[in-house]
Amino acid sequence: MCGILAVLGCSDDSQAKRVRVLELSRRLRHRGPDWSGIYQHGDNYLAHQRLAIIDPASGDQPLFNEDKTIVVTVNGEIYNHEELRKRLKNHKFHTGSDCDVIAHLYEEYGEGFVDMLDGIFSFVLLDTRDNSFMVARDAIGVTSLYIGWGLDGSLWISSEMKGLHEDCEHFEAFPPGHLYSSKTGEFKQWYNPPWFNESVPSKPYEPLAIRRAFEDAVVKRLMSDVPFGVLLSGGLDSSLVASITARHLAGTKAAKRWGPQLHSFCVGLEGSPDLKAGKEVAEYLGTVHHEFHFTVQDGIDAIEDVIYHVETYDVTTIRASTPMFLMSRKIKSLGVKMVLSGEGSDEIFGGYLYFHKAPNKKEFHQETCRKIKALHKYDCLRANKATSAFGLEARVPFLDKEFINTAMSLDPESKMIKPEEGRIEKWVLRRAFDDEERPYLPKHILYRQKEQFSDGVGYSWIDGLKAHAAENVNDRMMSNAAHIFPHNTPLTKEAYYYRMIFERFFPQNSARLTVPGGATVACSTAKAVEWDASWSNNMDPSGRAALGVHLSAYEGKSVALPSPPLKAIGDMPMMMGQGVVIQT
């Protein structure tokens, strides 16, 4: 991921202002340590910090059209850039960068070209012919982007909040799937797929259609001129990404340059579920596996850095970001600049354990829609910023536009969790890759119960965080929490601890408004909490809060005990944890 910063229409075009823009742009250099660039046209400044993945030699930014009247600063990857170049036969490109097509597409099609881009991106485009500009962000918000307004009438754009929060009177997250045009002064939604209105689809489930769509999504993301690997926790999602990558790597340009053997990476506390499962999958796939261990104290020591980089006080995001942050530093030290990751699957297929309690297919489908729309505030934010903190790029094939359209067009009845029929969470995805002739994964991995990343790295990680917070936040502080933090009042000592750190880095009201709030259990939306009355007394984003579902549900709460004997249905293991629920 690169870092972009733009100041547009400011009242100051002095050298001092240019120096200030450069100073703020340097705050984003962790995102793009390979090169820095700045362009000034009158009272407009476009700055860029580059992480070179495609065409490292000549793809420095900002980028231009032929006569340099159109200027672009971009953070992202355009996977269909070669196809788009063929449609721009009358244009001359200055670089081999995948993002070089943007200025030329604008020249050819105007602002309506954004939906032609297949990839992840945030960009600012300046048309110096009339001093107009446009800003756009990718469909789901995989790349991070903020917009702000200065008292002098200027408009600011930054990949991260830290690039603009001190200089703007108000700022907010730039909405995914939207563009902003200076010609209208308004946002316009360019991404509006059929599932967006949340009406219940009816397409029958076809396993091969899901398999083909996801394989395509992974293969297009193997585009790279630098060494890359996969994040491999041993769970279903990351294991499928790794399996498909291993199958298709040999035929790519990257394999010819860097070798055909895939590198995989896993992080966890000593003896954690993810380390064990990740190693097993790596051995099955034949990857060069790198296992990183951290201690609870290592994670606690990194919390301030994590909050500064990820720019949130959301509890579940910080819990999961910390191990990813630590792992990203290790990965980058090995010379790897890009990784594929498994974010998005749980939102699309209802993979979180609380989906077991979905009352009907309409509620199930609408919750998946809500979860996908909110990804830019949670898992996308984590995957983007925790890796970018060390100049590492994360690509997420589950959030491919075409794959989402395929998966979200399914009749949600096929996604419903029905243990009595052997259908556990994400059954439609598991079944799509259950190939007897050429297995993608071992059966017990293909049907492993969902573990949230913050749980899978080791259960004592979250328990350790709670204990540390309890040592630093006392009861008197909690009794005044609603007065100190009237917006998104922290309800636990852990949340209060994170909030104190966040407010120190980002004290503005606009900053605290960028972070989501509301009731949640096991990563649910507030609406889904209504599915089970008992959840209102057990508000925690950990998967272990899914009482009666998770094998290691919190002690002292409802615990699911399997009804013996635990049998398989056909060759498919019954959902672990199925059975009666008793109060302990």
CATH number at residue 330: 3.40.50.620
pLDDT per position as a tens digit, 463-505: 999 999 999 999 999 999 999 999 999 999 999 999 999 999 9
Are 47 and 38 in contact, with CB atoms under 8 Å apart? yes
In a domain, 470, yes or no: no
Kindly indicate the confidence band of residue 54, based on its pLDDT and cuts at 50, 70 and 90.
Answer: confident
> Would you say 74 is a known binding-site residue?
no
Residue 279, SS3 per DSSP: helix
Same domain, 113 and 248: no
Same domain, 72 and 216: no
User: Which of 143, 159, 189 lies at the terminal end of a domain, its last residue?
Assistant: 189
Q: Is residue 55 scored above 90 in pLDDT? A: no
Catalytic center residues: 2
pLDDT per position as a tens digit, 498-525: 999 999 999 999 999 999 998 888 788 9
In a domain, 557, yes or no: no
Q: Is residue 452 scored above 80 in pLDDT? A: no
Q: What is the pLDDT of residue 521?
A: 81
Are 195 and 201 in contact, with CB atoms under 8 Å apart? yes
> Would you say 267 is a known binding-site residue?
yes
Q: Is residue 50 scored above 80 in pLDDT? A: yes
pLDDT per position as a tens digit, 154-195: 999 999 999 999 999 999 999 999 999 999 999 999 999 999
Least confident of 361-370, 397-406, 486-495, 569-578: 569-578
In a domain, 35, yes or no: yes
Same domain, 155 and 286: no
> Would you say 98 is a known binding-site residue?
yes
Q: Is residue 444 scored above 50 in pLDDT? A: yes
How many secondary structure helices (H) and strands (E) does the chain include? Answer: 21, 21
Q: What is the pLDDT of residue 557?
A: 43
In a domain, 564, yes or no: no
Q: Is residue 35 scored above 70 in pLDDT? A: yes
54: amino acid identity, one letter: I
In a domain, 303, yes or no: no
Q: What is the mean pLDDT of residues 43-72?
A: 91
In a domain, 28, yes or no: yes
Kindly indicate the confidence band of residue 326, based on its pLDDT and cuts at 50, 70 and 90.
Answer: very high
Instruction: Report in angstroms the alpha-carbon separations of 37 from 1, 5, 6, 45, 351.
Output: 15, 10, 12, 11, 42
In a domain, 584, yes or no: no
Q: Is residue 25 scored above 50 in pLDDT? A: yes
Q: What is the pLDDT of residue 550?
A: 58
Same domain, 393 and 270: yes
> Would you say 231 is a known binding-site residue?
yes
Same domain, 29 and 167: yes
Same domain, 157 and 242: no
User: Which of 189, 224, 253 lies at the terminal end of a domain, its last residue?
Assistant: 189
Same domain, 136 and 268: no
Same domain, 124 and 89: yes
Kindly indicate the confidence band of residue 275, based on its pLDDT and cuts at 50, 70 and 90.
Answer: very high
> Would you say 446 is a known binding-site residue?
no
pLDDT per position as a tens digit, 113-134: 999 999 999 999 999 999 999 9
The whole-model pTM stands at 0.91
Same domain, 234 and 170: no
The tokens 């309690």 sit on which residue? 357
Same domain, 354 and 428: yes
Are 365 and 200 in contact, with CB atoms under 8 Å apart? yes
Q: What is the CATH number of the domain that holds 88?
A: 3.60.20.10
Across the chain, mean pLDDT equals: 90
Dist CA 32 CA 463 (whole Å): 35
Kindly indicate the confidence band of residue 547, based on its pLDDT and cuts at 50, 70 and 90.
Answer: low
Same domain, 228 and 121: no
Q: Which domain holds residue 324?
A: 207-295+315-459
Please state at what angle helix 315-333 crosses helix 296-310, rounded to 10 degrees.
Answer: 100
User: Which of 420, 439, 459 lies at the terminal end of a domain, its last residue?
Assistant: 459
Q: Is residue 373 scored above 60 in pLDDT? A: yes
Both tokens assigned to 482: 């609603």
In a domain, 123, yes or no: yes
488: amino acid identity, one letter: N
For residue 563, what is the DSSP state? -
**Residues with Cβ < 8 Å from 564, sequence gap 6 or more?**
none
Q: Is residue 563 scored above 70 in pLDDT? A: no
Same domain, 272 and 403: yes
Q: What is the pLDDT of residue 552?
A: 56
Dist CA 97 CA 50 (whole Å): 12
pLDDT per position as a tens digit, 77-109: 999 999 999 999 999 998 989 999 999 999 999
Q: What is the pLDDT of residue 519?
A: 82
Kindly indicate the confidence band of residue 558, based on its pLDDT and cuts at 50, 70 and 90.
Answer: very low
Q: What is the pLDDT of residue 36?
A: 94
Q: Is residue 57 scored above 90 in pLDDT? A: no
Tally of domains within the chain: 2
